[in-house]
Amino acid sequence: MRRTVVDRRLPTSMSRAVVSLLALTLSVELVLSGVSYLLSGMLHEGVVEQTLSTLAFLLAVPGGVFTAWAFLAFGLLGLVSTWSLVGGNADTTERRGDRAGGEQVVESDPVGVLQRRYADGEVTDEEFEEQLTRLLRSGEESDSSPENAETNELVE
């Protein structure tokens, strides 16, 4: 099934999106802090060592290799948690679509269903016109709707 921009949805709750963004920000900061401190400890001299030491200091890594490893571990754990939050939301949306018979929106309007099928290429031009005429003649759609008024003008 192909997906369009219309089928994509925002996260179900705004709080979930905010938590994901904060977790991502904190996790990236922790990973950068841990890696920069560990790399600065491995290199003994030169511009690279001074740059990494400065970066570790600016990112507020207290002294100690154990602390740097802890920052790195918590940062990676945060990245995995953020990924599961975002990925879990996408899985839930897809499962909801599967339960609805594969369609995100179930239309009860016969003309709308016919138009969607025509747009997807399931119905040819002749079949579309024939079925639209049959629907309008059978009176399944109310005559007071603005869509029906436009369609009647097109058919006549």
- Residue identified by tokens 């997906």 is 3
Q: Please report the pLDDT score of residue 99 as a whole number.
A: 52
Q: Please report the pLDDT score of residue 156 as a whole number.
A: 44
Query: Is residue 18 a contact partner of residue 10, using CB atoms and an 8 Å limit?
Result: no
For residues 22 and 59, what is the distance between their CA atoms, to the nearest angstrom? 16
Residue from 23, 9, 28, 34 nearest 84 by CA: 23
Q: Please report the pLDDT score of residue 138 as a whole number.
A: 81
Q: Please report the pLDDT score of residue 141 as a whole number.
A: 47
- Residue identified by tokens 């709080």 is 15
Predicted confidence (pLDDT) per residue in 85-126, tens digit: 777 655 555 555 555 555 555 556 788 888 888 888 888 888
Q: Bigger pLDDT: 61 or 124?
A: 124
Q: How many residues does the chain have?
A: 156
Burial 122-146 (b: 16+ CB within 10 A, else e): ebeeeebeebbeebbeeeebeeeee
Predicted confidence (pLDDT) per residue in 7-17, tens digit: 555 555 777 77
At residue 146 the predicted structure's pLDDT band, cuts being 50, 70 and 90, is low
Widest Cα–Cα separation across the chain: 87
Report yes or no on whether pTM surpasses 0.85. Answer: no
